[in-house]
Amino acid sequence: MAEEKGGAEEKFALTSSRHFPQWLAGTGGSLAFTTYQAGKLFLLGVKPDGRLSTFERTFPRAMGLAVSADGRSLALATQTQIQRFDNVLPRGQGSQDGYDAVYAPHASWVTGDLDVHDVGFGADGRPVFVNTLFACIAAVSDGHSFRPLWKPGFISRLAAEDRCHLNGLAMANGKPRYVTAVSRSDAADGWRDRRVDGGVVIDVDSNEIVAEGLSMPHSPRLHDGKLWLLNSGTGEFGHVDLETGGFEPVAFCPGYARGLAFIGNHAVIGLSLARENRTFSGLALDEALAARDVEARCGLAIVDLSSGDMTHWVRIEGLVRELYDVAVLPGVHRPSAIGFKTDEVKQIISIEE
């Protein structure tokens, strides 16, 4: 299973801070991240000699990424499908190529182009996801494009209009718990008018807004008793005080931040270059970058939750300019995956015992 290589016109370069490989190896896990702009799923681990292992597979508009509770399965949202991958290697066994996990596609639900953003595993093991086009949380359906589960109280009806740009999903015990939206708009594409300060966090159980005044919020996640998120329009990573509704910044992110996962006391944050269009222009992030005399970057930021320091980083240059989601693969040191562009999917056969 060779790693996919781009042509001369599609160069890809990944570099890291000096101690990042040792840190990643010490966590006992590895990382996965997606880019819809380049249509890739990346798996980042460490080889036995201590060097980074980068593995990629191509999927159109790769977006939300989730890991099952047992770490054996991945859910990936793409342009028209949600794919489920399962690690076909028995625990403790490696492949002939030196990988200790091989994630092979075993199930797919065709959704159509719903602009799916975050995805998670429900209590029944089936994917649930943020249906951004219809402004709702949905479940996969065996007979339809999706099954609506919940919509914000300010959305009057389901319509393919991307009214509020619902995007982020925090799961708890196999259930959707909190979501983020760029605005409370109930009109087609209305969220673009409130990019600067219209962002909200919504409690799915109560349908109440628990935080507001945010700028392009993304990637809400529950960790260690706190609700963390990325206030992408300001470049801030922090957590929400659920009693007061206040957002408490912990660290500045030198890029447009989307994608958040945790390893112990560290956050792994995806960073993107800002696009030259109205969606990303005029945000406080621009001034914050200029004030720090730094340019936006694409890559990963590893932030210590206690100090707010970026203790490690990964930079990505060339073909990939924007990331969407990040996930942690616990107990996997060097992961790989099976795609559909080569014949390898024909040769991966596993038997349930």
User: pLDDT tens digits, residue range 240-289?
Assistant: 999 999 999 999 999 999 999 999 999 999 999 987 666 677 899 999 99
Q: Helix and strand tally (H, E) in the chain?
A: 3, 26
CATH number for the domain that contains residue 139: 2.120.10.30
Q: pLDDT-based confidence at 31, cuts 50/70/90?
A: very high
More confident residue, 6 or 196: 196
Average pLDDT for the chain: 94
Query: Is 158 among the domain residues?
Result: yes
The answer to whether 109 and 127 are in contact (CB under 8 A) is yes
Residue 30 lies in a domain: yes
Let me know: does 253 contact 246? Beta carbons within 8 Å: no
Return the half-sphere exposure (C-beta side, CA atoms, 13 A cut-off) of residue 3.
16
Banded pLDDT at 95 (limits 50, 70, 90): low
The DSSP annotation for 81-135 comes to: EEEEEEE-SPTT---TTS-SEEEEEEEEEE--S--EEEEEE-TTS-EEEEETTTT
* Assigned domain for 7 exists: no
Q: How far apart are CA 176 and CA 119, in angstroms?
A: 10
Domain interval for residue 235? 12-347
Q: Is 22 helix (H, G, I), strand (E, B) or coil?
A: helix
pLDDT band at 233; cut points 50, 70, 90: very high
Please indicate, yes or no, if residue 352 is contained in any of the structural domains: no
Look at residue 94 in the predicted model and tell me its pLDDT. 66
- pTM comes to 0.94
Measured between alpha carbons, how far is 268 from 240 in angstroms, rounded to an integer?
18
Q: Where does 275-352 show beta strands of DSSP type E?
A: 299-304, 310-318, 326-330, 335-337
- Report yes or no on 2 lying in a domain: no
The confidence score (pLDDT) of residue 17 equals 98
Q: With respect to residue 328, please indicate whether it lies within any of the assigned structural domains.
A: yes
Rounded to an integer, what distance in angstroms lies between the CA atom of residue 64 and that of residue 81?
11
Gap between the Cα atoms of 317 and 11, Å rounded: 8
- Structurally, the chain folds into a number of domains equal to 1
Amino acid type, 287? E
> Is 5 within a domain?
no
Half-sphere exposure of 187 toward its Cβ, with a 13 Å CA cutoff?
4
**Angstrom distance (rounded) from CA 96 to CA 118:** 33
C-beta separation of 84 from 95 below 8 A: no
